[in-house]
Amino acid sequence: MTTTGERPVTPVGEEPVTAPGGEMYTLVERLYPLCRSITGDGVRATLEIVDEYVPLQVHEVPTGTRVLDWTVPQEWNIRDAYIADSTGERVVDFAASSLHVLGYSVPVSATMPLAELRPHLHTLPEHPSWVPYRTSYYKPDWGFCLAQETLDALPDGEYEVRIDSTLADGHLTYAEHVVPGQVPDEVVVSCHVCHPSLANDNLAGIAVATFLARALARETPYHTYRFLFAPGTIGAITWLARNQERIGNVKHGLVLACAGDRGHLTYKKSRRGDAEIDRVLRHVLASSERPHEIKEFAPYGYDERQFCSPGFNLGVGSLTRTPYAGYPEYHTSADDLDFVSPEAMADTLAVCREAFAVLDRNRRYVNLSPYGEPQLGRRGLYDAIGGRSDAKQAQMAMLWVLSLSDGEHGLLDVAERSGLSFDTVAAAADALAAAGLVKA
């Protein structure tokens, strides 16, 4: 892992890559105990682990740097925090879970009665055994998060309150991994690395992005794939601010989040609504017959809203399983290692690979024999497909490709209009190109 302000292309590995759900789950297990936030050593430790799987280019952006309409905040780090009763027993302990401290809490060392402490305590009365995830990034504050049943059991009295944290000038940290393609046109795949011990949101997204990068590194993709591991909101804004001169290279994008729960897949369209990535995901999900949902764009959610902001207006959608705030466990301690499954992460990864395979093959062709229907038989094209179980579909795919190879329609257009699978259409285009009847 290298740290720099430059953005060179990352070399890809040469080892055979497999991405079973079990390996992704192991990565989630390793990352789960770390305390992450929008800045700090927890982010760096997370990226160091990811770097073991795919080499990362890490960027450090100083506090106070102007990034679009935002400013990089001070860096937050925490070593310990607790609430102890009069006997010295820790009734709330950061060492037990990083969720127990309000994110970005300023340092505190005091003794106070429970009545004075209560305004700084956050619970979920509707789920009394769960601990909520709460932050105060841009307003100096401090607090603890705990189960309602723990709070209910606290007697009146004096409590020692300790938050051993620092909030000081430092850096915002993010990382990139680039899989070089045949063309410089880029697909950005983004996931956020700012959440603490939350397995689905967003450790599963980190795991799927990591193993997707490994899988693509074993291929020779048409597009260049840029993987972005950054804190939510401020991280994406920082990346956009530092890369404005090359935004034109970004042709497509996908934000990965909530990628490991057992719900069905959900795709949220880009702001454009008809971007190529929108059409690809709709086609892949429908063709796969997986249970799924397609949602319209809304300016709330994950970092698709930054990439899709009017000034950039990139074709970036978001793929999740159950969407943000769509499950009770969201942003609570119940989003734990039992909440995600290897099978769900493997399924999310499979859809990503299917979608990018379509995206990479979705070329436009020109019919080189456009006056009337060319004779396929004498070119051996019928013989080539005669033994196939789907020979009729393959023949129809050739006719559709010839009909729509006018330089204006891509293979996805052909698949959508004909009702044939993209793979069948792509195979027909390959056969026709080999026979000299079409060219990309």
Predicted confidence at residue 3, as pLDDT, reads 60
| Rounded-to-integer distance, Cα 183 and Cα 172, Å | 31
Topology annotation, domain 2-72+171-360: Aminopeptidase (3.40.630)
pTM to 2 decimal places: 0.92
Q: Which residues are annotated as a binding site?
A: 195, 201, 331
Q: 148: alpha, beta or left, given left = phi > 0 and alpha = psi -120 to 50?
A: alpha
Q: What per-residue confidence (pLDDT) applies to 393?
A: 86
Query: Which part of the chain is CATH 1.10.10.10?
Result: 362-439
Domain 77-168 indexed as CATH 3.30.70.1560: no
Ranges for all domains in the chain classified under CATH 3.50.30.90: 77-168
Q: Which residues are annotated as a binding site for Zn(2+)?
A: 195, 201, 331
Distance CA 392, CA 160 (A): 77
Q: Which of 390, 425, 187 is nearest to 287 (CA)?
A: 425
pLDDT in tens, the chain (440 residues): 766 543 333 333 434 334 479 999 999 999 999 999 999 999 999 999 999 999 999 999 999 999 999 999 999 999 999 999 999 999 999 999 999 999 999 999 999 999 999 999 999 999 999 999 999 999 999 999 999 999 999 999 999 999 999 999 999 999 999 999 999 999 999 999 999 999 999 999 999 999 999 999 999 999 999 999 999 999 999 999 999 999 999 999 999 999 999 999 999 999 999 999 999 999 999 999 899 999 999 999 999 999 999 999 999 999 999 999 999 999 999 999 999 999 999 999 999 999 999 999 999 999 999 999 898 888 888 765 555 556 788 889 999 999 999 999 999 999 999 999 999 999 999 999 999 999 99
Do the Cβ atoms of 166 and 107 come closer than 8 Å?
yes
CB 26 within 8 A of CB 52: no
Virtual torsion, Cα 139, 145, 148, 151, nearest 10 deg: -100
CB 215 within 8 A of CB 19: yes
* Separation of alpha carbons 145 and 412, rounded Å: 49
CATH class of 362-439: mainly alpha
pLDDT at 390: 66
Give how far the C-alpha of residue 78 lies from the chain's centroid of Cα atoms, to the nearest Å. 26
Could you give the angle at which helices 41-50 and 205-217 cross, rounded to 10 degrees? 40
* Pair type for strands 121-122 and 171-179: unpaired
Residue spans in the chain of domains classed CATH 3.40.630.10: 2-72+171-360
- Alpha-carbon distance 175 to 230, whole Å? 6
Q: Is the peptide bond before 200 cis (omega within 30 degrees of 0)?
A: no
